[in-house]
Each structure stands twice: as C-alpha cells, then as structure tokens.
Amino acid sequence: MTDEVRRLAGAAWAFRARVEREASSRFVRLAAAIPAFDPGSPVVGLLRRAAADEDRHAALCADLAAAYGGPAGATPVDASVAPRTFGARDAVLYEMVAACCIAETESVATLATLLAGAAEPRVRSVVHEIARDEVVHGRMGWAHLAREAAVRDVSFLSAWVPAMLEGSVEPGIFSAGGPGSEPDELLRHGVLPSWRKREIFVGTLEEVVFPGLDKLGVPAAPARAWLTERLAGRVSPGGMR
Ligand SMILES: [Fe+2]
Ligand SMILES: [Fe+2]
C-alpha cells in the first residue's frame, strides 16, 4: 500500500466515523421530537435503536481510520438541517427525508457496491456490519413520510428536495473524470472512485428515491430537474450559475 493510499483511506474512514456520530445525535434528537405530534409512532423506537447502531458504526469506522493511521476525527456537530422558517413538525419531516430516505438509502447502495468488490477482509467485515443496519435506517424515513402523508399534505417538501440533495452529495463527483481516472487500489480499502460514487448516487435517486417520493406525495420533479442540470454540467454542486 502506498503512503497516498493509506492517507486517503485513513481520512475517508475518519470522515465516516464523524458522519456516524452525527447521525447518532440526530436520531436521538428526532426520536425526542416526534411524540409531540405523533405519540403512537413506531418510528420513535426505531430511531432510538438506530442511534445505538450509529454509535457502534462510529467506533468501527474510527478503529479502521486508526489502523490506516488516519486522524482522530473532528468533533461531530448536530444541528437541524431544516430551513429555519419551518415549524417543529415540518422540520422533523425534512430531516427524516434528508437523513433517511436520501442519505441512508445512498449509503446502502454505496456499501453494497463495496461488498461486491474485492475489499480487504477487515474492511469487508466493517462494511458488512454497517450495511445490515443502514437498510433499516433508510426504511425509518419512508415509514415516517408515509405516516405524515396519510394525515396531511406533504407536497410542500417537493421544492426542498434539491437542497437536501445538495447537502448530501460529495462536492466534485459531477466534475470528476470517468473510469481509470483514479487508482483502483483504494477500492480494497473501502474508498470508491468519484465516477463510481456519481453512478451510485444517480442510480439510487432514479431507481429508489425519486419513485418513493412521488408515490408518497412529494413530487420529485424539482429534484429530477436538479439532477438533470448537474449531469449536463451546467451547475457545479454548491456553486452558482
Ligand atoms: Fe451508520
Ligand atoms: Fe444509518
């Protein structure tokens, strides 16, 4: 393994450890907020269990990061990602869709791709354990959205999905080169090349996320338009026209 591969793998796993810790805090906060408007929701219990899963994932990722000599990882920050103008109930819905329907669903696809490849045994066992839980975490978002859609109009969220995608996508994947532009060796250490991340991101949106939102009363048209623009290269993620 070259120093460069070791450094990139260590940084990637340290970053994941922080993302897992942040997910844990977010799930604890959301579990505490839901009973105020939906006391009978089974999602509350699922969120509490998911928070414990994320703590376990964070430890696994931090151990791997340390094995590659990676940084200890920055302090996690947990703050609502919903627009400030949203009331408490709408903010929870925004975060459940962004964190679970989008981020966890994308995570499942990414981990499945890593498992299908030739990962190192230690990386493979961590990815395998995490992947098993993330499937359940994605479902929490769809379950919460379905409960809300059954009792109120959730179409207001439609215009906000592009902002959620903007917040979940790794900067640069739309401008990255194609196959062969990055070293393949990173895959064995759990790091996908950017072109592969782009392929997974787009495929998961088109096959799972967009149809799911459409079905549950959040028209995906604005999000589809956002994706089309990104793929046409007219706008860089996070950038201005
Ligand atoms: Fe996780
Ligand atoms: Fe998760």
Surrounding residues of ion ligand 1, Cβ less than 5 A: 20, 54, 57
Distance 235 CA to ligand 1 centre (A): 30
Shortest-distance ligand to the CA of residue 104: 2
Q: What are phi and psi of 192, to 5 degrees?
A: -85, 145
| CATH 1.20.1260.10 given to domain 3-232 | yes
Distance 122 CA to ligand 1 centre (A): 17
- pLDDT tier at 6, thresholds 50, 70, 90: very high
Residue 241 has pLDDT above 90, yes or no: no
Distance 50 CA to ligand 1 centre (A): 8
Distance 31 CA to ligand 2 centre (A): 14
Each domain of the chain, given as residue ranges in start order, spans 3-232
Residue 203 has pLDDT above 70, yes or no: yes
Residue 237 has pLDDT above 60, yes or no: no
Mean pLDDT of 148-176: 94
- pLDDT tier at 240, thresholds 50, 70, 90: very low
CA distances from 238 to 30, 177, 230 (A): 26, 18, 10
pLDDT the model gives residue 76: 79
Distance 12 CA to ligand 1 centre (A): 14
Q: Which of 106, 157, 175 is nearest to 135 (CA)?
A: 106
CA 71 – CA 62 distance, rounded (Å): 9
- pLDDT tier at 74, thresholds 50, 70, 90: confident
- pLDDT tier at 235, thresholds 50, 70, 90: low
pLDDT the model gives residue 144: 98
Shortest-distance ligand to the CA of residue 105: 2
SS (H, E, C) 124-176: HHHHHHHHHHHHHHHHHHHHHHHHHHHHCCCHHHHHHHHHHHHHHCCCCCCCC
Distance 152 CA to ligand 2 centre (A): 27
